[in-house]
C-alpha cells in the first residue's frame, strides 16, 4: 500500500526592500527645472532699473574707445605735439590695452570683495581718469590718464557681464548679452560724431 506523501507548500520568504542609506524615492523622479534657469526674484521695475543703469554705465567706456579718434588732431595741436607720432599712437592704444588687461583682475576682485564694491571702484577709477584727461597739459599726462581711464573702463565692462549672469537666468542671458553688444555698436557709431562735435563746437577737454 502506497503511502501518501504529505507535501507542504513552501512559502517564499518576502525579501525586504533594500534601500541604500541616504536614498529616497524622490531621487528616481524626473529632475526639476534647473534653478539657474529661473530669473532671480526682483520686481519688474527694480529689474528694469538695474539693467538700465548697468547699460548706461557701460555706454561711457564703450564711447571712450572711439570718441577720441576725430578729436585727436585738435588735441595734439592744443597740447603742442602735432608732429608727435607717439601721441597719435598711444592716446588711443593706452586705453584699449589697459581695458583688456584688467578685466580678469576685476572678476577676481568681485569674488573677493563683492560685486557692489568692485563695480563702484571701477566707476570711481573711470571718473578719476576722465577728469585727469580733461586736465592734461601735455601728451604724456594724457596718455597716463587714458591708462587710468582704461582700467576703470575694463572693470565696468567685465562687471556688467558678471552682474548680468547674477540677475538673469541662463535662458534669457543670451538676449541680454545681445543688448550689451548693441550698446557697444551704438557707442562705436556715435563716438566719432560726438568727439568731432565737441572738438569743433566746444572744447576737446569735454571729450
Q: Which domains does the chain possess? A: 42-60+84-187 (1.20.1250.20)
What confidence score (pLDDT) does residue 15 get? 44
Name the residue with higher pLDDT: 170 or 125.
125
**8 Å CB contact between 39 and 165:** no
How buried is 10 (Cβ within 10 angstroms: 0-12 exposed, 13-18 middle, 19+ buried)? exposed
Q: Taking residues 129-144, report their average pLDDT.
A: 92
Q: What is the pLDDT of residue 27?
A: 41
What pLDDT is stored for residue 205 in this prediction?
A: 85
The chain-wide mean pLDDT, for the chain, equals: 80
Choice between 120 and 34, residue whose per-residue pLDDT is larger:
120
Please answer whether residues 199 and 207 qualify as being in contact, where contact means their C-beta atoms are separated by less than 8 angstroms.
Answer: yes
Predicted confidence band of residue 99 (pLDDT cuts 50, 70, 90): very high
- The larger pLDDT score, comparing residue 102 to residue 170, is at 102
Instruction: Give CA–CA dist 131/138, Å, rounded.
Output: 14
Better-scored residue on pLDDT, 82 or 139: 139
User: pLDDT value at position 77?
Assistant: 87
Q: Structure pTM?
A: 0.75
Q: Would you say residue 141 has pLDDT above 90?
A: yes
pLDDT attached to residue 4:
46
Nearest alpha-carbon partner for 157 in 196, 192, 184, 176: 184
Residue 30 grid cell: 524626473
pLDDT tens string 68-82: 888 888 888 888 877
Q: Is the pLDDT of residue 45 over 80?
A: yes
DSSP letters for the chain: -PPPPPPPPPPPPPPPPP--TT--GGGGSPPPPPGGGSPP---HHHHHHHHHHHHHHHHHHHHHTTHHHHHHHHHHHHTT-TT-HHHHHHHHHHHHHHHHHHHHHHHHHHHHH-HHHHHHHHHHHHHHHHHHHHT--SHHHHHHHHHHHHHHHHHHHHHHHHHHHHHS-HHHHHHHHHHHHHHHHHHHHHHHHHHHHHHHHS-GGG-
State the pLDDT at residue 109.
Answer: 92
Residue 24 burial (CB count, 10 A)? 9
Stretch 187-207: mean pLDDT: 87
Which range, of 16-20, 116-120, 134-138, averages the lowest pLDDT? 16-20
| Res 9 pLDDT > 60 | no
- What is the pLDDT, as a whole number, of residue 41? 54
Is-contact 143 90, C-beta < 8 A?
yes
Amino acid at each position: 500500500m502506497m503511502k501518501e506523501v504529505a507535501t507542504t507548500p513552501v512559502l517564499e520568504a518576502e525579501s525586504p526592500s533594500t534601500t541604500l542609506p541616504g536614498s529616497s524615492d524622490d531621487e528616481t523622479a524626473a529632475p526639476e527645472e534647473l534653478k539657474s534657469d529661473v530669473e532671480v526674484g526682483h520686481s519688474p521695475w527694480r529689474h528694469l532699473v538695474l539693467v538700465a543703469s548697468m547699460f548706461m554705465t557701460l555706454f561711457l567706456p564703450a564711447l571712450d574707445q572711439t570718441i577720441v579718434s576725430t578729436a585727436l588732431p585738435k588735441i595734439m595741436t592744443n597740447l603742442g605735439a602735432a608732429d608727435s607720432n607717439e601721441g597719435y599712437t598711444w592716446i588711443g592704444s593706452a586705453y584699449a590695452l589697459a581695458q583688456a588687461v584688467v578685466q580678469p583682475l576685476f572678476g577676481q576682485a568681485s569674488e573677493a570683495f563683492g560685486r557692489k564694491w568692485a563695480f563702484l571702484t571701477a566707476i570711481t577709477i573711470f571718473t578719476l581718469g576722465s577728469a585727469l584727461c580733461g586736465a592734461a597739459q601735455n601728451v604724456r599726462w594724457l596718455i597716463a590718464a587714458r591708462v587710468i581711464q582704461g582700467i576703470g573702463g575694463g572693470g565696468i565692462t567685465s562687471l556688467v557681464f558678471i552682474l548680468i549672469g547674477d540677475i538673469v537666468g541662463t535662458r534669457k542671458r543670451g538676449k541680454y548679452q545681445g543688448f550689451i553688444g548693441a550698446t557697444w555698436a551704438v557707442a562705436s557709431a556715435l563716438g566719432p560724431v560726438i568727439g568731432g562735435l565737441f572738438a569743433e563746437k566746444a572744447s576737446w577737454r569735454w571729450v
